[in-house]
């Protein structure tokens, strides 16, 4: 079966191989904190107990704040799980005075990790500021470790992933349903890969196909369909906030926007490697200079990723700093896998980004020429990049100027220029006033 990677649903893996770091709070307390504790606090606690909102006077965004605690006292007593209010709260024991998080308890593994962290001394590395030490990997960039496959005593699993599902079945006391019918499999394949139901004639043909690889053939057929790129390209377009208009209060139309949309769809259908897909969108205009002429148009269109940034105001490139900020707000989560906007005003609290890093990235786009699609007060497009190579563009201009010169010469043979000048002289004088 032809293999493809849907660009927009896989994890962005920055490293591979090697043992998982930060598994043991005793052996690697810094790594354990960065991989297990910091992400947990950031995702489940800091929204209500952080610098913006500190419910009950408690903040959980620094070791000092955790040890100080809130209205009820210190949240953590290093080395004493039973005496730590945080450990008591996350048990969700109805006999205790508080259960946190209030809406949904933490998973058992998360509770165990927090307890192990407290028991080991609740270490909070000094490198917890935005910049990390070169020899200590940040939790977000740690290599993914392949976990051991669970045992499958019932032999239900057909693929390695099924073993984890079977394990969850056993833990939850759930019995799996029986195998799907061929009709259900076909319907799922169609909706998943192209977003459309299977035609009746295709269903009939599939039901009559007794070959063992019948489903694999259908999948290959759907992957080769142009509808595949239309279905899955929408995910990327949603992430980069694609629109046919410029946004903000004017929300002026951009007639050329569809070119970038089609580029994304075509790239997915062509199975363009993900790294090349990103390179073309961030630097397609530069790549186009060294590319064959037939690729020039496509590569320039790819930079629609940058051109899609929301336009602020009603005049040409008004509030340019906000346009660049919008570009970075897309670049960070979509391409880097990092929230980035916090670093606009200060060193990031949880990502490995300083304010200096933010404005270094800002500088890349400050030197970029953004096209202006028009607005309410200035209804004219400017600074749009030509979609043909410079040599060809200049050749077209030369041919146009030569033709204009020939036409002027022909006109001069039939028109008395002095008479024309005399006739339009009053008009010029009137316009000058």
Q: How does DSSP assign 93-144, residue by residue?
A: -TTSS--SSSSSPPPHHHHHHHHHHHHTT----GGGSSS--TTS--GGGSPP
In tens, the pLDDT along 322-364 reads 889 999 999 999 999 888 988 998 888 778 888 999 999 999 9
99 touches 93 (CB < 8 A): yes
**With 90 as the cut, is the pLDDT of residue 258 above it?**
yes
Nearest CA-CA partner of 313 in 326, 303, 331:
326
Categorize the per-residue pLDDT at 126 as very low, low, confident or very high, splitting at 50, 70 and 90: low
Tell me the H-state helices in 270-375: 274-290, 293-302, 304-307, 320-331, 355-366
The C-alpha atoms of residue 256 and residue 318 are separated, in whole angstroms, by 21
Higher pLDDT, 95 or 389: 389
The C-alpha atoms of residue 57 and residue 72 are separated, in whole angstroms, by 9
In tens, the pLDDT along 395-425 reads 999 999 999 999 988 888 887 777 778 888 8
242 touches 308 (CB < 8 A): yes
The C-alpha atoms of residue 87 and residue 72 are separated, in whole angstroms, by 14
Categorize the per-residue pLDDT at 135 as very low, low, confident or very high, splitting at 50, 70 and 90: low
Nearest CA-CA partner of 243 in 228, 255, 226, 227:
255
301 touches 260 (CB < 8 A): yes
**Does this model's pTM top 0.85?**
no
Task: Please list, in sequence order, all residues whose beta carbon lies within 8 angstroms of the beta carbon of residue 317, skipping any fewer than 6 positions away.
Answer: 311, 323, 370, 372
Categorize the per-residue pLDDT at 265 as very low, low, confident or very high, splitting at 50, 70 and 90: very high
Chain mean position to CA 127: 27
Distances (CA, A) of 296 to 4, 14, 286, 326, 358: 26, 30, 10, 27, 31
The C-alpha atoms of residue 64 and residue 74 are separated, in whole angstroms, by 10
What dihedral do alpha carbons 12, 15, 17, 18 form, nearest 10°? -130
Q: In the numeric block, which tokens belong to residue 261?
A: 């949309």
Residue-level pLDDT at 84: 92
SS3 state of residue 190: helix
Q: What is the mean pLDDT of residues 104-116?
A: 90
Residue-level pLDDT at 136: 60
**With 70 as the cut, is the pLDDT of residue 10 above it?**
no
86 touches 58 (CB < 8 A): no
Residue-level pLDDT at 209: 96
Q: Cα-atom radius of gyration of the chain, to the nearest Å? A: 31
**With 70 as the cut, is the pLDDT of residue 219 above it?**
yes
**With 80 as the cut, is the pLDDT of residue 2 above it?**
no
């Amino acid at each position: 079966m032809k293999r493809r990677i849907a660009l927009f649903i896989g994890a962005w893996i920055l490293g591979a191989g090697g043992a998982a770091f930060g598994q043991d709070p005793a052996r690697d307390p810094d790594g354990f904190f960065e991989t297990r504790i910091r992400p947990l606090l950031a995702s489940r606690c800091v929204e209500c107990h952080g610098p913006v909102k500190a419910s009950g006077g408690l903040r959980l965004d620094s070791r000092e704040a955790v040890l100080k605690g809130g209205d009820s006292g210190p949240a953590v007593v290093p080395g004493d799980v039973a005496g730590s209010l945080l450990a008591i709260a996350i048990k969700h024991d109805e006999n205790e005075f508080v259960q946190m998080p209030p809406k949904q308890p933490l998973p058992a593994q998360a509770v165990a990790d927090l307890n192990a962290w407290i028991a080991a001394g609740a270490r909070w590395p000094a490198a917890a500021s935005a910049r990390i030490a070169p020899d200590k990997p940040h939790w977000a960039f740690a290599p993914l470790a392949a976990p051991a496959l669970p045992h499958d005593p019932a032999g239900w699993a057909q693929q390695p992933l099924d073993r984890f599902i079977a394990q969850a079945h056993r833990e939850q006391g759930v019995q799996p349903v029986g195998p799907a019918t061929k009709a259900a499999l076909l319907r799922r394949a169609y909706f998943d890969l192209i977003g459309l139901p299977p035609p009746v004639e295709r269903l009939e043909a599939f039901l009559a196909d007794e070959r063992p690889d019948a489903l694999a053939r259908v999948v290959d057929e759907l992957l080769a369909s142009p509808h595949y790129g239309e279905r899955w390209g929408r995910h990327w377009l949603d992430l980069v906030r694609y629109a046919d208009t410029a946004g903000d209060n004017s929300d002026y139309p951009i007639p050329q926007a569809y070119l970038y949309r089609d580029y994304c769809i075509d790239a997915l259908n062509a199975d363009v490697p993900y790294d090349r897909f990103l390179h073309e969108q961030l630097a397609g205009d530069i790549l186009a200079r060294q590319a064959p002429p037939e690729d020039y148009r496509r590569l320039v269109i790819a930079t629609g990723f940058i051109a899609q940034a929301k336009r602020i105001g009603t005049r040409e490139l008004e509030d340019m700093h906000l346009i660049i900020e919008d570009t970075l707000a897309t670049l960070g989560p979509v391409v880097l896998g990092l929230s980035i906007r916090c670093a606009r005003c200060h060193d990031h609290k949880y990502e490995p980004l300083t304010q200096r890093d933010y404005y270094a990235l800002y500088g890349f786009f400050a030197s970029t020429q953004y096209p202006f699609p028009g607005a309410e007060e200035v209804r004219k497009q400017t600074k749009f990049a030509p979609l043909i190579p410079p040599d060809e563009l200049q050749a077209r201009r030369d041919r146009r100027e030569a033709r204009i010169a020939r036409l002027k010469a022909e006109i001069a043979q039939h028109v008395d220029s002095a008479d024309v000048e005399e006739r339009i002289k009053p008009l010029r004088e009137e316009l000058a006033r």
